[in-house]
Amino acid sequence: MNFLRWWTVALMLFGATMSLCLGVVCLLYYIYLDSAPEMREQLPLLQKLVALFVVLGLLGLAAFVPLWRKNRWLWPAQALLLAGAVTIGITFWRLLSA
């Protein structure tokens, strides 16, 4: 159970940290939007990446709460976190390789 706790917390904090960092970058892109034309082209991709990491952080939080409270819906929440992390990873890979 200790590994599961660290796995959940790591994914939750990774999603929260990345969404915060990319959110600041997105804010800076909004401020300097007219400075360079490529910023306007890259902004939608950046917004999608922020949304992906927000979802990952929220999935981690949703999986951490039953782990912390020792609820019976722990395993469905962990399965949802695993499925969400794999889906977000594949989507992230496709967005950056396109």
Residue 1 has pLDDT above 80, yes or no: no
Residue 13: count other Cβ atoms within 10 Å of its Cβ.
14
Tokens of 79: 């399965």
Q: Whole-model pTM? A: 0.88
Report pLDDT digits (tens) over 27-55.
Answer: 999 999 888 888 889 999 999 999 999 99
Query: What is the percent of the chain with per-residue pLDDT over 90, rounded to a whole number?
Result: 73
DSSP letter, residue 35 = T
Over residues 62-76, mean pLDDT: 89
Domain ranges of the chain: 2-97
